[in-house]
Amino acid sequence: MTSPILSVSNLERRYGDFIGCTDISFDVWPGEVVAIVGESGSGKTTLLNCISGRLDRSSGSIRYNMRDGRFPDLADLSEAERRFLMRTDWGFVHQNPADGLRMRVSAGANVGERLMAIGDRHYGEIRNTATEWLGRVEIAGDRIDDKPVAFSGGMRQRLQIARNLVTRPRLIFMDEPTGGLDVSVQARVLDLLRGLVSDLGLAVVIVTHDLAVARLLSQRMIVMKTGRIVETGLTDRVLDDPHHPYTQLLVASILES
Ligand SMILES: Nc1ncnc2c1ncn2[C@@H]1O[C@H](COP(=O)(O)OP(=O)(O)OP(=O)(O)O)[C@@H](O)[C@H]1O
Ligand SMILES: [Mg+2]
């Protein structure tokens, strides 16, 4: 594909008079991982929720390259089309797995539900695919009938990842996907994510305040401060040779801690 999968132009989101994010323009290319970094309150989640259609924008355009070749603004899709995108072509991995899982239905059903949403009806096949995906996120097959409430934080997060990836989406949004996990558990989830993203050739927009996560997963980085982009570039370049004083401060503060 020679065009971006997602194209954001002059995006702004206000909360009353307060600016959540503004003057945001960037493209995401197929198979590319873009990290959005910045301090708490810099507008990362606001931006992510706008571009994933979960939050209304105040102005600007957000266009998505559909599988059928159309490249519409999300605002011009019907509600049904938008919902279908969210269930199929897109994934959203929340920081808190409880926000992205149904905690009181089985692990297998959490994964199978997304398959049924795209029309799979054969119970045996759905169960087989669910078992295969639990394996891919390193959850033992004999836990398929257990509910996520009985899982550890790391397992819940891996289940949320399986639930998102089972429909073979092309674009995944993630908000601090390892932010709620113990440091020891984070590494394993990150490693798993990195493998899956590269195996499946996924495009990802990941929000994180953790520059090590950005370094590990992303090729390109967007640095935000008070709702605006202050620097963008290849992740290695931004981290090794930050141009903007704010990025220099961010990088320096990590090195010191
Ligand atoms: N619903 C809301 N109503 C009013 N202001 C909001 C709302 N949501 C966010 N804001 C404000 O917008 C700014 C950006 O918030 P946002 O949640 O996008 O930041 P963030 O970069 O994701 O921060 P964090 O790293 O803490 O998650 C903050 O100043 C926040 O207080
Ligand atoms: Mg946030």
Torsion of CA 189, 194, 198, 200, to 10 degrees: 20
Q: Which residues pair with 90 in a beta bridge?
A: 171
- The answer to whether position 117 is within a domain reads no
What residues does 174 pair with on adjacent strands?
A: 93, 206
Q: Which ligand places an atom closest to the C-alpha of 49?
A: 1
Q: What pLDDT score was predicted for residue 90? A: 96
Q: Over the chain, what is the mean pLDDT?
A: 94
- Flag whether 142 is in a domain: no
Identify the band that residue 253 occupies on the pLDDT scale cut at 50, 70 and 90: confident
Q: Does residue 191 form part of some domain?
A: yes
175 part of a folded domain: yes
pLDDT grade, residue 255 (50/70/90)?
Answer: low
- Evaluated on CA atoms 232, 170, 149, 45, the torsion sign reads positive
Question: pLDDT tens across 147-174, in order?
Answer: 999 999 999 999 999 999 999 999 999 9
CA 179 to ligand 1 center in whole angstroms: 16
Tally of domains within the chain: 1
Provide the pLDDT confidence category of residue 42 given band limits of 50, 70 and 90: very high
**Pocket perturbation via mutation, ligand 1, pick of 44, 57, 95, 222 by most ligand atoms within 8 A of CB:** 44
Q: What is the mean pLDDT of residues 32-49?
A: 97
Write out the E strands in the chain. 6-15, 18-28, 33-37, 59-64, 90-93, 171-175, 203-207, 220-225, 228-234
Mean pLDDT of 211-228: 96
pLDDT digits (tens, 9 = 90+) for 120-153: 889 999 999 999 999 999 999 999 999 999 999 9
Q: Residue 200 maps to which CATH number? A: 3.40.50.300
Q: What percent of the chain has pLDDT over 70?
A: 98
| Positive or negative: CA dihedral 33, 87, 65, 61 | negative
Ligand 1 neighbours, Cβ below 6 Å, are: 15, 18, 20, 38, 40-46, 209
What pLDDT, on the 0 to 100 scale, is given for residue 117?
Answer: 85
Is it the case that residue 73 has pLDDT exceeding 70? yes
Question: 137 in a domain, yes or no?
Answer: no
Per-residue pLDDT at 140: 95
pLDDT at 256 over 80: no
Which ligand 1 atom lies nearest to the CA of residue 47?
18
153 inside domain:
no
pLDDT top residue among 86 and 2? 86
> Does residue 146 lie within any of the structural domains?
no
Contact 203, 30 (CB under 8 A): yes
pLDDT value, residue 54 = 93
Dihedral angle sign, alpha carbons of residues 88, 104, 132, 178: positive
Has residue 222 been placed in a domain?
Answer: yes
**Which domain covers residue 85, as residue numbers?**
16-102+170-256
Reported as a pLDDT band with limits 50, 70 and 90, residue 254 is confident
Helix (H, G, I), strand (E, B) or coil at 36: strand
> What are the start-end ranges of the H helices in 63-182?
79-87, 97-100, 107-117, 123-136, 153-165
